[in-house]
Amino acid sequence: MTGTTPDFDAVVIGAGFSGIYMLKSLRDKLGLKVKVYEAGDTVGGTWYWNRYPGARCDSDAYIYGFTFDKQLLQEWEWSERYPEQPEILRYLEHVAKRHELKRDMQFNTKVIGGEFDEQNNLWTVHTDKGDNVTARFLIAAVGTLSYTNVPKFKGFEKYKGKWYHTSQFPHTGVDFTGKRVGVVGTGATAVQAIPEIAQQAKHLVVFQRTANYCVPARNGKVDPEVTKARKADYDNIVKRIRESFFGQEHYFIPKSALEVSADEREREFEKKWDAGGFAYWLANYQDMFFDQKANDLCADFIKRKIRSTVKDPRVAEKLIPKGYAYGTKRQPLDTNYYETFNKDNVVLVDAKTDGPIEEITENGIRAGGKEYPLDIIVFATGFDAMTGPLKALNLRGRGGRTLDKEWGDGPHTYLGVSVAGFPNFFTITGPQSPSVLSNMPVSIEQHVEWITDLIDNMIRSGKTTIEATPQAQDQWVKHVNEVVNATLMVTANSWYMSANIPGKPKAFLPYLGPEGVGGYRKKCDEVAAKGYEGFNLA
């Protein structure tokens, strides 16, 4: 780089859904010079890293994809309702190829730092491969569930067997045949993986910290007539999901669970249960997330289902969630999960009743005073969600400020897309945006298009920097917290609440706006229409 001419107009970090579309928009719509850095050896993000048995999306595939490419919406055929990881990866590879994106992507390269040069208004970005490049704009497309969490169990280093984390699974797969396997964790990933591993392993021990409310996925082939009708109606579907609460075609029942008769309630519950997927979670009675009594009714129905599926009443009791409201943790979708605990080769070790994991030993795991010998341990322990991958960028904004320090008590953002003191830096589906509470591609496309318009606007009006004002940021943080404090979400020790990782400051990470994804989009558009209200443009 010479003088103040940057090497790139924009650097994008990450090549999952977000990085793919961000590059496409800035390069092909605005004609900018863009570089994408990606730690993995190809595109895909989540669908490149998470290769555990049973890995698949939980969003219905017909809405789990890009909508900017209308021709592709018509051409692409998903093989089932929730395709598996290799198929989604194939889709993202196809998009990258179709739009010739890889020529501006550098793989196997991790961004390890960056600082804002206040004199020249440029970001300098450093990678683990020795790149030191400058760019006017820096965009984090680093994902929300991309920073692996391996709990620091005592004795880990002593273990002589093999261990894997689900989000960094070997590309060659793992053969569990004839092995004694332990799975640590019972979140959405584990609920997908456990039934698959149980089919292969000689013996499977599941270590549960908190029992989850699982609802049936009901995966399978989609009726070709349904697919045909959806393809004919895509423009309306896209409009509907963009305006919806969760970026999906799920809508609350506009009634209280408490105002209807027990018969009517039971009929509705069964209907949602039969529909499968997120219907029971996101299309239930409208007071389910607000009223403990309404929530109890929804929860009791699931508890009855668990009791009727799991044959050993003692095991069923361990699998019954206790002490938190239904729906306040990420909803796992169940394909033979509860049935798996009827198998003779599967044992459930519950932290509350059997005792928590005490240590990893040379031969396995000791929990509740008992050692479980294991050949393989699979950690399905999730992520340092949302803030983890952003903090790991080691960015320095104005005056050398860091996200670590600025976010010492939880995230502080404006609209979940920018951070005061970090000019020209944007976070796609960042903390305090709907993000993980939505069907992600909808939120990703919204952020990418909003950021693209903003940059276009800046270029046209000759502005060089934009940054959130501390006042606008404070107001947004206050609003995010006020909204969520009125719900039951704050009662759970969930990763949404940053509670999965010891020492992580307790804060609600996404944004549960009063009108969801649709209302949030309106808010962002209003901010833009008012000349980027809440931002300083210079």
Residue numbers at the binding site for ligand FAD (CB under 6 A): 13-19, 37-40, 45-46, 48, 50, 55, 57-59, 64, 110-111, 141-143, 145-146, 189, 389, 392-393, 428-429, 439-440, 444
- List residues bridging with 379 in a β-sheet: 165, 184
What is residue 518's DSSP assignment? H
Q: Specify the DSSP class assigned to residue 375.
A: S
Q: Please, what is the angle between helix 292-309 and helix 262-275, to 10°?
A: 60
Residue among 39 and 183 whose Cβ is closer to ligand FAD: 39
Query: Measured from the CB atom, is 110 or 307 closer to ligand FAD?
Result: 110
CA dist., res. 414 & res. 486, Å (int): 21
Asked whether the beta carbons of 147 and 165 are under 8 A apart, the reply is no
- Least distance CB 143 / ligand FAD (angstroms): 2
Under a CB-based contact definition with an 8 Å cutoff, are residues 279 and 327 in contact?
A: no
| Cβ 142 vs Cβ 393: under 8 Å | yes
Closest distance of CB 538 from ligand FAD, Å: 28
Distance in Å, CB of 88 to ligand FAD, minimum:
8
- Residues 366 and 310: their CA atoms lie apart, in Å, by 25
The Cα 300–Cα 306 span in angstroms is 10
Query: CB of 142: closest distance to ligand FAD in angstroms?
Result: 4
Question: In the complex, what is the shortest distance from the CB of residue 444 to ligand FAD, in angstroms, rounded to a whole number?
Answer: 6
Q: How far is the CB of 128 from ligand FAD (least distance, A)?
A: 8
* Nearest CB to ligand FAD, comparing residues 146 and 340: 146
Of residues 327 and 364, the one with the C-beta less far from ligand FAD: 327
Compute the least distance from the CB of residue 424 to ligand FAD, in Å: 18
Which is nearer to ligand FAD, 189 or 210 (by Cβ)? 189
64 or 285: CB nearest ligand FAD: 64
Nearest-approach distance from CB 247 to ligand FAD, in angstroms: 7
Residue 530 CB neighbour total at 10 angstroms = 9
Nearest distance in Å: CB 66, ligand FAD: 11
Q: Which is nearer to ligand FAD, 364 or 518 (CB)?
A: 518
Over the Cα atoms of the chain, what is R_g? 23
DSSP string across 302-360: HHHHHHHH-SSHHHHHHHS--SS-TTSS--PEESSHHHHTTSTTEEEEETTTT--EEEE
Closer CB to ligand FAD, 38 or 291, in the complex: 38
Shortest reach from residue 393's CB to ligand FAD, in Å: 5
CB closer to ligand FAD out of 142 and 211: 142
DSSP string for 443-503: HHHHHHHHHHHHHHHHHHHT---EEE-HHHHHHHHHHHHHHHHTSGGGGS--TTTTTTSTT
CB of 264 vs ligand FAD, minimal distance in Å: 30
Round to whole Å and give the CA distance between 514 and 301.
Answer: 26
Q: Judged by CB, which is closer to ligand FAD: 382, or 421?
A: 382
Q: Output 167-175 pairs: Cβ under 8 A, ≥24 positions apart.
A: 167/49, 167/50, 167/52, 167/382, 167/383, 168/49, 169/49, 169/50, 169/51, 169/52, 169/55, 170/51, 171/51, 173/51, 173/53, 174/53, 174/376, 175/200
Nearer to ligand FAD, 13 or 23 (CB): 13
Residue 71, Cβ density class (10 Å: 0-12 exposed, 13-18 middle, ≥19 buried): exposed
